[in-house]
Structure 1
Amino acid sequence: LAQKYLKDPHVNVFVKEYHSQRISVIGAVEKPNVYSVPGHKTILDLLVLAGGLKEEAGSLLFLIRPASAEKGPSRREEGSNGQEPRTFVIDLEELLVKGEMRLNLPLQNGDVVNVPVAGKIFVGGEVRNPGGFPLKGRRMTVSQAITLAGGIKTEAKGSETRIFRHSEKGTGKEILTVNIYDIEKGQGEDLSLKENDIIIVPKS
């Protein structure tokens, strides 16, 4: 009877095809799309498929996982009661610049990878290069914004520079006055800016 059975058999198993997963990549990426990908993929894999980040990409990535998906690792989750989609918040600077690979989460079928556009501040008036400049999640001060705008012109009245800001109470706009010259001398407060602040440097 023993002759009918193989002794110490060696078996090789080959995976012919992985089941594909449909993962959406949206927001500030070069090629937003719904990607059908085989096998196990991570956030970085999908960012590469989507052509990388656009210049205006913000500093955070949101991984939105449907409630029906399998339970995965936790990273600053929101709405994780099992009834609603779960959201994982990923700091892109930590992942891409500092190489924190623990943030490179594995993806599941139905996941949505969203990279929102960074908030902006706007600089106008008597500056050399007026325009909008992305905050990208970092702290930006008045002097830094003026530098990004190429500095003030010789005919500018920097002592009466205005910052127009949406009121947090929803009651209209706040208007703040700063003195660029005092800030440059280290004698004035270099205020931190908020998203959608508008800096106007008047003409003397």
Structure 2
Amino acid sequence: MKRMFMWMLALLFSTLVGAAQAEDVLLGAGDVLKVSVYGNPDLTLETRVSETGSITFPLVGEVAIGGMSTSQAEKKIGGLLESGGFLRKAQVNIIVTVLTSQQVSVLGQVLRPGRYPIEGKRTLTDVLALAGGANPEGGDVITVIRNRNGKSTREVIDLHDMMQSGDMKQNIELNGSDVVYVDRAARFYIYGEVQRPGQFRLERGMTVLQALSVGGGLTLRGTERNIRIKRRDAGGNLQVLTAKHDDLIQVDDVVFVQESLF
């Protein structure tokens, strides 16, 4: 429940902030535009931005608009119409009807994985909201691959910690071609004399006693004495530890509950 609350809080925050941050879309290859000039219906054009980031507009020819905002592209086309002597005062309007160039990929354990358009400023929580948040298998750890100036960087963000602290510095702004990956939630394993042996979600701060509860408690033959934990150390070596009730469970721990001797 606590984890679900954190996700819902993040989605609510993204909705409020996203509305406040909406601004011009950056244009790029593949985008479909409807361009019109006030008072000149014959100059209305619906076209697709080429792979080189340009369109061909009546009277002025090829116009490079890739990487520009819609308002910048409007001013550029208007300026070319005026400087070419075609119009005295050109009021150009551009509507993006299909946005394909500025899209973020959201992958992993989300309800609706896919590619989502970046319309204006979009933060990490904005994009997670578009993807419906984490599915039941999703965790709080998110990996973001960002592409800037031809270079890729990788950043790991703990959504739970960010929302708990209220420090939104890690609620980073995303650009087209960025990738957001929601990892699978951490797991632990329990077997032996428990009612429901198997793998389970590892909650933060989970103790051995809580792990027994998740496993349905002991069988009639089980004992809480001499519980063993099998754990890999930093070097990958397997350790077998005798566990106390208040010891913390770690990622991929295997908990073994022994049979009582009496």
The TM-score normalised by the length of structure 1 is 0.70
Question: Which residue pairs with 2:252 in the alignment?
Answer: 196
Alignment of 1:99-110 (within 5 A): 100-110=167-177
Is 1:16 the equivalent of 2:98? no
Q: After the TM superposition, which residues 105-184 of structure 1 pair with which residues of structure 2 at under 5 Å, given as runs?
A: 105-135=172-202, 138-171=204-237, 173-178=238-243, 183=245
Moved more, 37-46 or 191-200: 37-46
- How many residues were matched structurally? 169
Show the counterpart of 2:138. Answer: 57
Describe the SS at the equivalent of 2:145.
strand
Higher strand share: 2
**Is 1:41 matched up with 2:122?**
yes
Distance, in Å, in 2 between the alignment partners of 1:97 and 1:170 is 32
Inter-CA distance 100–15: structure 2 relative to 1 (3 Å threshold): farther
Deviation at 1:166, TM superposition (A): 1.8
Distance apart, 1:54 and its partner CA:
1.5
How far the C-alpha of 1:59 sits from its partner, in A, is: 2.0
Q: In 1, Cα distance between the equivalents of 2:243 and 2:169?
A: 43
8 Å Cα contact 1:26/1:32 also seen in 2? yes
- Structure 1 contact 32–50 (Cα < 8 Å) conserved: yes
Q: Partners in 2 of 1:14 and 1:99 — Cα distance?
A: 40
1:95, distance to aligned residue in structure 2 (A): 4.3
* Mapped contact 1:31–1:51 kept (Cα < 8 A): yes
CA deviation after TM superposition for structure 1 residue 198, in Å: 0.5
Q: Over aligned residues, Cα RMSD in angstroms?
A: 2.7
From the superposition, tell whether residues 150 and 169 of structure 1 become closer, same or farther in structure 2 (CA, over 3 Å): same
Structure with greater helix percent: 2
Per-residue deviation, residues 105-135 of structure 1 (Å, max 9, x unmatched): 2210111111111221111111122222222
Aligned partners of 2:190 and 2:256 also within 8 Å? yes
For structure 2, the 5+ residue unaligned runs are 1-90
Residues 15 and 95 of structure 1: CA distance in aligned 2, closer, same or farther (over 3 Å): farther
Which amino acid counterpart does residue 175 of structure 1 have in structure 2?
A: V
Partner of 1:144, secondary structure, is helix
Aligned to 2:29: none
Q: Which has the higher contact order (CA 8 A, sep 6+)?
A: 1
The 10-residue stretch of structure 1 (20-29 or 30-39) with the greater mean CA deviation from structure 2: 30-39
Higher Cα radius of gyration: 2
Q: What is the identity, as a one-letter code, of the residue corresponding to 2:182?
A: V
Q: Percent identity?
A: 35
